[in-house]
Amino acid sequence: MKLEIRTYGDPVLRQKGARIEKIAPEIKKLVADMFDTMYDARGVGLAAQQVGHALQLTVVDVRGIKDRPSTMQVNGKTVDPEALMPLVLINPELKLSGETFTGAEGCLSFPEIFADISRPSEVEVTAMDEKGHQVSFRAGGLLAKAVQHEFDHLQGILFIDRMKSETKRELKSELDALAEKTKLALKKKK
Ligand code: ZN
């Protein structure tokens, strides 16, 4: 089932996600709904906050994106990221490494807004999947970027927080308009 994507200005996007101690049926249902929502919106990642739940849960799928390749290693062996997608990351922990890499980013909670963001080029991820199995891998390229972007969401951090102040200034009127639109829509719902 497709869920409503929360946009900038919705306070849930600023909430730190609670750890998930038990993978209850509601969590499995939420994971399935998050995939439906992400694929429908053609995103490569979606965090629980973006569908209104402040939880340590995100889904990622970088399949099909050839112009921005991803790399992946499991137990020190290089693997094909396509074979391991999609990813469900519950209570993820990250170790960042590599040089800083700058590339364009977008976010489903900021429709039509894109900006260059600098992030470390590699990341080591440890998490749990929706079956309760441990997930560990090393990622580079687009996947490293996507995982860091989604991990930020789980802490209530948004990509605008990582933009250069100059870029944020250039986008200010668009961002303010989006936040205003979101707040009006939330008021109407109450
Ligand atoms: Zn995002």
| Each residue's pLDDT tens digit, 77-110 | 999 999 999 999 999 999 999 999 999 999 999 9
Whole-angstrom distance, CA of residue 2 vs CA of residue 116: 29
Catalytic residue of the set 150, 166, 170, 174: 150
**Residue-range domain boundaries for the chain:** 11-189
What predicted TM-score, i.e. pTM, was given to this entire model?
0.97
Is 82 known to be catalytic? Answer: no
Q: 147 C-alpha to center of ligand 1: Å?
A: 10
* End-to-end Cα separation, the chain, in angstroms: 23
Q: 134 C-alpha to center of ligand 1: Å?
A: 24
Classified as helix, coil or strand, 23 is: coil
Q: 44 C-alpha to center of ligand 1: Å?
A: 9
CA dihedral 86, 113, 6, 16 (to 10 degrees): 80
| Each residue's pLDDT tens digit, 110-158 | 999 999 999 999 999 999 999 999 999 999 999 999 999 999 999 999 9
Residue 61 has pLDDT above 90, yes or no: yes
Whether residue 111 is preceded by a cis peptide bond, meaning omega within 30 degrees of 0, is no
Question: Which among 25, 19, 146 is positioned nearest to 85, based on CA atoms?
Answer: 146
Superfamily of structural domain 11-189: Peptide deformylase (3.90.45.10)
| Each residue's pLDDT tens digit, 16-49 | 999 999 999 999 999 999 999 999 999 999 999 9
Residue 66 has pLDDT above 90, yes or no: no
Q: 105 C-alpha to center of ligand 1: Å?
A: 9
Q: 87 C-alpha to center of ligand 1: Å?
A: 16
